[in-house]
């Protein structure tokens, strides 16, 4: 690994909930190509986690979210791509707008899925999240 990848990067995964379902997009043209993933991306300098979740979700899906809160984090080692991310998982609720593919070069489609019946293959951070036993539905049903 070169100097550029000598430290982990910070990613933000946004678990958008609506009617006890989560929003997933099918990735393309990046690491995890073909995997289903939450909206999200890189945390920008001086950006709060909540701001990042709102920005990335709107940029990728065109929807607005509410009740954004930190849920957990995953340690994601993409060994084949020589990348290491710490992914901050944020849970929120759908607020308004119509879900659409805003970045067709990065995402094939968006769909809502039952948390206990997710499609495959799943993006590594979601696999790590599922392996931990995490359940995002506990955040809205408090």
CATH of the domain at 110: 3.90.79.10
pLDDT for 6:
85
The residue among 23, 45, 46 whose CA lies nearest residue 36 is 23
Number of domains in the chain: 1
Burial 88-103 (b: 16+ CB within 10 A, else e): bbbbbebeeeebebbe
The 10s digit of each residue's pLDDT in 19-77 is 999 999 999 988 899 999 999 999 999 999 999 999 999 999 999 999 999 999 999 99
What range does the domain containing 89 cover?
7-133
Cβ-contact 10, 90 below 8 angstroms:
no
Whole-prediction pTM? 0.94
Q: How far apart are alpha carbons 40 and 83 in whole angstroms?
A: 16
The residue among 94, 49, 47, 54 whose CA lies nearest residue 71 is 49
Indicate whether 1 belongs to any domain: no
């Amino acid at each position: 690994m070169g100097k550029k990848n000598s430290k982990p990067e910070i990613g933000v995964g946004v678990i958008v909930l609506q009617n006890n379902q989560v929003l997933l997009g099918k990735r393309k043209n990046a690491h995890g190509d073909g995997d289903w993933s939450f909206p999200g991306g890189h945390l920008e300098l001086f950006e709060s986690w909540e701001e990042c979740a709102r920005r990335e979700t709107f940029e990728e899906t065109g929807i607005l979210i509410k009740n954004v809160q930190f849920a957990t984090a995953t340690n994601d080692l993409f060994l084949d791509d020589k990348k290491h991310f710490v992914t901050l998982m944020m849970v929120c609720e759908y607020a308004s707008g119509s879900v659409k593919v805003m970045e067709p070069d990065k995402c094939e489609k968006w769909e809502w899925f039952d948390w206990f019946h997710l499609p495959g293959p799943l993006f590594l951070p979601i696999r790590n999240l599922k392996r931990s036993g995490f359940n995002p539905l506990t955040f809205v049903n408090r």
